Structure 1
Amino acid sequence: MKFYDKGFIYNYDDYTQVQIFSAGTVVLDMKIYEDRVCKSTFECQDLKTFNKENLSSSYSDDFIKELFQRNEKQIVHRDKKNNILIKIKRD
């Protein structure tokens, strides 16, 4: 997955929602629960499968959930071994 556009992160009691837009169109709408990630295509995956297919199987199951729940102004995760770069900048 590669996205370089603006988006929103919403933290709710039961899940975290990540929406990314390009030219006003939603290109990613994802809900991250304690045990699964669901995309707008109604496809849900357990966290281990999500990591294996989109990041790296070496990541902890809760990696993506914890990453988006951080309340920092800027988050940079750089994994050169797996060629992964995640940047989150909050306005």
Structure 2
Amino acid sequence: MKTPKLKFYDKGFISKYSNYTEVQILSAGTAVLKLKIYEDRICRDTFECQASRVFNEEYLNRNYDENFLKNLFESDKKEIIHRDKENGILIKIKKD
């Protein structure tokens, strides 16, 4: 995941629960990013929850759909590459 404010190039886990999806990115066995993605908000371990729209404005781009990350990480596709050159965003997901 590479955005102007978030840069992580490591492996991690995507866990789906009944009311949220959790994304953890690890570096050398230590969690460097942990997101809980709910229907209407995204919570990061370093700050309180934000509305999905607010998170997108701050870390992606305000033109992104409110449920963009939720839909991306909950997709059943084995490999996802989202490239947005205009906004400097690259998100690659490869599922084992």
Question: TM-score surpassing 0.5?
Answer: yes
Give the percent of matched residue pairs that are identical in Structure 1 and Structure 2.
Answer: 60
- In 1, distance between residues paired with 2:46 and 2:90? 24
Q: Secondary structure at the match of 1:43?
A: strand
Trace 1:1-91 onto structure 2 (pairs within 5 A).
Answer: 1-91=6-96
Q: Using structure 1 for the length normalisation, give the TM-score.
A: 0.96
Task: Point out which structure has higher relative CO (alpha carbons under 8 A, 6+ apart).
Answer: 2
Letter matched to residue 71 of structure 2: E
- In 2, distance between residues paired with 1:84 and 1:42? 21
Runs ≥4 in structure 1, deviation > 6 angstroms?
Answer: none
Q: Secondary structure at the match of 2:73?
A: helix
Cα RMSD between the aligned structures? 0.8
Letter matched to residue 51 of structure 1: N
Q: Secondary structure at the match of 1:10?
A: strand
Q: Using structure 2 for the length normalisation, give the TM-score.
A: 0.92
Letter matched to residue 80 of structure 1: K
Deviation at 1:42, TM superposition (A): 4.8
Q: Write the deviation string for residues 3-31 of structure 1: whole angstroms up to 9, x where unpaired.
A: 10010000111000000000111000110
- In 1, distance between residues paired with 2:91 and 2:74? 14
The runs of 5 or more residues in structure 2 that have no matched partner are 1-5
